[in-house]
Amino acid sequence: MGEGKRFVHLHVHSEYSPLDGACRISDLVNMAASYDMPALAITDHGALYGTVKFYKACKEAGIKPIIGCELCVTPGSRYDRSGKPESFLRHLVVLVENEKGWRNLIKLTTRAFLEGFYYKPRADYELLAEHAEGLICLTSCLQGEVPQLILQRRVDDAELSIRRLQDIFGKENVYLEVMRVGMEEQEVVNQALFALSERTGAKLVATNDVHYLRPEDAEAHDVLLCIQTGSKVDERGRFRFRSQEFYFRSPEEMANLFRDRPDAIENTIEIAERCHLDIDFGSLYLPPFDIPPEFPDHDAYLEHLCRQNLRKRFPKVTPEIEERLRYELKVIREKGFAPCFLVVWDLLREARQRGIPVGPGRGSAAGSLVAYLLEITHVDPLKHGLLFERFLNPERGDMPDIDLDFCDQRRDEVIAYVRQKYGEDRVAQIATFGTLASRAAVRDAGRALGVPLDFVDWLAKQIPMGISLAEAMEGIPELRKAYEEDQRARRLLDTALKIEGLVRHVSTHAAGVVISPMPLTERIPLQRSPGGGELPTTQFDKDDIEALGLMKLDILGLRTLTVMRDTLELVKKTRKREVDLTSLPLNDPKAFALLRRGDTAGVFQLESAGMQRLLREASPDTFDELVAIIGLYRPGPLQSGMVEGYIQNKRRGRVSSIHPAIDHILSETRGVVLYQEQVMQIASEIAGYSMAEADTLRRAVSKKKKEVIEEQRKVFIERAVERGIRREDAERIFGIIESFGSYGFNKSHSAVYALLAYWTAYLKANFPREFMAALLTSVQNNKEKLNKYVEECRRMGIEVYPPDVNKSGVDFTVEGEGIRAGLAAIKNVGRQAAEAVVRARERLGPFKDLYDFCEKVDLKQVDKRAIEAMIKVGAFDGICVSRAGAIQEIPSAMDHGQKAKKERQSGQVSLFGAVEAIAKGTTKRPKTVGIPEFSHEEILEFEREYLGFYVTAHPLAKFKELLLRYITATLDQLQDLEHGEEVTVGGRVVDIRRRLTRDQRPMMIFRLEDFKGSAEVVLYPDIFERYSGMVAIGSILVVEGRVSIEEDEGERRAVLVASRVTNVRRLIEGRAKEVEIVLPLDRADSETLRRLKDLLSSHPGEATVFFVVPDKAGGTATRIKAEAVKIKPTLDLLQAVERLLGPGCISIAG
């Protein structure tokens, strides 16, 4: 027997023991293969996350996979959640011997999560006894119960523990686990186990509790532990492994370690030979779907539904349509996928019947005519050249991937229906695994190693987004230089390279749901949802779920659908008009004019500054051009020159020709190979590929599979030559496919996105007030976006009125030519209180004052905090003298309201008399006391804090024209810029944090806010020393610096690293040339004008003054140049004029 055949590792932690195991599955299997091991086990902590990937990798390498788990076992009840579990939880390794054991391990780990979770998933002995059959048990590491009892010198109790395990699992299924990993107490345990083996008859088995592959990986593993516990490597008393020997030892090393007990080595082979598990990857496990009795099977019913809707979708059914339908139904029948389509059809039908807004489809499913006929999608695949094979390849076994969009407010209702229809034990959310991307690996490793924050930050930011650390070190000279010349950088980057890509955490997929025909735990393990929630989550990710033959759906909540629904309801209410988006022609002039202007704030997928710029440059005239633009706006095309080529050809009205035989394929994209479907069509046209073969080529090119690409290159060129194409042309065309195909976008996906974009553009262009009101409602809990869209309303000429207890609805509503803010948008009010206010007003009439308000509303639902918040943002301005006074009156007004309610309830006032008195506001109440109003600055701050946007006046309004002369981007545009790009921004400081770097130097992070959004600005120590004195809450600054883009879990965040800071006061005093003063009609009396003249005269200078006088009849205002007055603008002067004439009355005009 070869050396490797003599030993098998049976206690191994992969990366799926997050932030503990440092072994990538592929590396584990490759190392086992290099040692010629016949088998290999995986025993991750508490879960089976990596088992399917491990099983497949082992099978591919010709190694027997042994599936196991290291459980946490509590000596008491798994339902007991008292005390700290770490003090008494014990480890136990179990290995799957057969199919029954696999099913039991699935149930064990599931119930440990769902029933026993307390800090960690926990089993108890009752649970072990229920699911012991088919499992082999090892007594685990020093954290096992048996080793712990030995270390406590309770050897007799250790024997009792072993015998209890033998009673549960069977005497022949319990092995005593011995290790030699360089720890003295382990040898104490080993010697006791040798003796206990004789006393109990339990055999010994040698393991190495593998956590990393090689001895030199111990430091990187230690860093992982620090990331897990939030500690640093040099921190005393932290959790750490007390030796560096938990690596993947060779069989020879293990044999030498246990040369005194060769039986412990031989028993690893004995266990491996006992373990046999065949996981079924070839069968489908689709949910049951009941069909009417007159149909023989699912396929017949599916065809019936398609033909039932055929005339609705196509008034004239052509032979092409009929042929396509028959072909798709044939493929679906042969694959056995009819139930998938019926499940989705039923779900969408139910949603529509309940009035839940549904999207027009998503992804490659738009390429299916069957999906279009079932109204799963709303883009005609024949009209738009979408391919069925891009969705379902007849030559592959992949299940149909159908993503569904629903109104985000009612997604939970959709999932509840799925659970109710198919069974709560047959539906679960799907897990996803977050990994340590290159930048995150550097940052996390840097924190753990105690490297100074600013140096870690600099290193991380040298790595371009989306590439590996190795690629960055090869391609970025600064990074390579730091590695070669700085020992800190070398140690940090070496560590980061080892942990990069490892699993960092488990979370729940944003949309994925699995549906099973049987209880899920008969097929896959479940866990508590990592993010909380009632619905459990699988322990496997979506790829493993699909590999096991289970049906998965992506059920997404899309805010855009909610906005569209609310817009249509407002249109119906305000204009008495009903609009059916699905029947709209795709050529609305107003919509395309809006798109060409790039006025797409709030328009689905078209909001970013870069996309708005592309829209203006590409100037779409048709729906197909909009589809192309959405496909073009991605990193690949933007960086490859494809976008410029498309735009130039569009402007010149031409199509670049690659070869006459494929000009018709590329005409819609002006000669640019943009879509994956075009790659498939070119392969078919030039080399005679079937569409299924072409999809295989497309996949190889998209995933850059070099070996497959080289095979395909030969096939493509030879077939093309056989079809009369010159060899050099065939080689050139394949080269284009290879280079541009890797950037190719799924046209089906782009087309569906374009349809949603078109619908929202249509609504914004044709019903601007209704659309913007719905949009504001959708983001009323996101103050950043709310502020941005309020500013967009102002740009569009739509005034946004403040909340008003007598005029506001719960949400934003259309009022005349403007939009009225809803009460639910106010912080501390909430939806329930807002509804109570509106309900009281509708039932009892408008509120007369605060006392009347407190009499009419239910004060159990509208509490003091809600009333105070409404007052602070001006919702009571129409019925109260001042905000400050109203706040002082809240206690007495609420007391008055509660007394009035008690009087009515006690019968002292007749029911009808009470209603009449309340409605007329004739009940007795205390007299209002006048109190000085809050300052202008306080009012603005209240509005920002409680509403998210400014009602009275924006603090930057008077500086807007001046700032626009200096800034190169607004703050909301930063995240669309390139990492490292130099930029100048301006805004108001709203938050400040001071910190010390590792070497105790001060630095600062502050949040800057402008009209469109906000962003964090960082002052590193050198810049802090020069400019920190300018930074205070309320300061208005112009900041120069470079953009730093950070990405975490797909979320892109921009930070500005400052290089220079200028206070707006200096800009005003040194560079302002014109000042504009609005003279309000109600303040244009002689005394006010005299005081204004004195103010201006006291600041002589060179700036010209313009007076703006509003028209009494509401017509155009008159702008008058003050010939005799020249001033020196200062911040003090601007503030003095505002105090005299009111907020927003003065601005720097140039």
Tens digits of per-residue pLDDT, 1048-1067?
555 678 899 999 998 888 87
Is residue 1089 very low, low, confident or very high in pLDDT (cuts 50, 70, 90)? confident
pLDDT at position 1 is 46
What distance in Å separates the CA atoms of residue 526 and residue 107, rounded to the nearest whole number?
A: 8
Is residue 337 very low, low, confident or very high in pLDDT (cuts 50, 70, 90)? very high
Q: H or E stretch including 58? A: helix 51-61
CB 225 within 8 A of CB 235: no
**pLDDT at residue 922 tops 50:** no
Strand-pair category, 1100-1109 with 1074-1078: parallel
Task: Give the pLDDT confidence of 966-991 residue by residue, as tens digits.
Answer: 889 988 888 888 888 899 999 999 88
- Cα distances (Å, whole numbers) of residue 594 to 601, 606, 792: 10, 11, 14
Q: How high does pLDDT run on average in the chain?
A: 90
Instruction: Output phi, psi for 257, to 5 deg.
Output: -60, -35
Is residue 907 very low, low, confident or very high in pLDDT (cuts 50, 70, 90)? low
> How many percent of the chain have pLDDT more than 70?
96
Q: Which amino acid is at 188?
A: V
**What pTM was estimated for this model as a whole?**
0.85
pLDDT at position 367 is 94
Lowest mean pLDDT among 16-20, 769-773, 1043-1047: 1043-1047
Task: Give the pLDDT confidence of 587-633 residue by residue, as tens digits.
Answer: 999 999 999 999 999 999 999 888 999 999 999 999 999 999 999 98
pLDDT at position 1137 is 84
pLDDT at position 912 is 45
Torsion 92-97-103-106 (CA) sign = positive
For residue 455, the SS3 value is helix
Identify the bridge partners of residue 135 per DSSP, sorted by sequence position: 96
pLDDT at position 992 is 92
pLDDT at position 918 is 44
pLDDT at position 609 is 85
pLDDT at position 1085 is 80
Task: Give the pLDDT confidence of 273-282 residue by residue, as tens digits.
Answer: 999 999 999 8
CB 1097 within 8 A of CB 1075: no
Lowest mean pLDDT among 515-519, 756-760, 954-958: 954-958
Task: Give the pLDDT confidence of 538-578 residue by residue, as tens digits.
Answer: 999 999 999 999 999 999 999 999 999 999 999 999 999 99
pLDDT at position 474 is 87
Is residue 498 very low, low, confident or very high in pLDDT (cuts 50, 70, 90)? very high
**pLDDT at residue 1114 tops 70:** no
**1088 versus 283: which is more confidently predicted?**
283
Residue with tokens 């809990």: 781
Torsion 191-192-195-201 (CA) sign = negative
**pLDDT at residue 1113 tops 80:** no
**pLDDT at residue 1082 tops 80:** no
Decide: residue 618, CB within 10 A, 0-12 exposed, 13-18 middle, 19+ buried: buried
Task: Give the pLDDT confidence of 855-869 residue by residue, as tens digits.
Answer: 999 999 999 999 999
Lowest mean pLDDT among 523-527, 533-537, 912-916: 912-916
pLDDT at position 700 is 87
pLDDT at position 930 is 57
**pLDDT at residue 789 tops 70:** yes
Mean pLDDT of 787-796: 90
Mean pLDDT of 1093-1116: 79
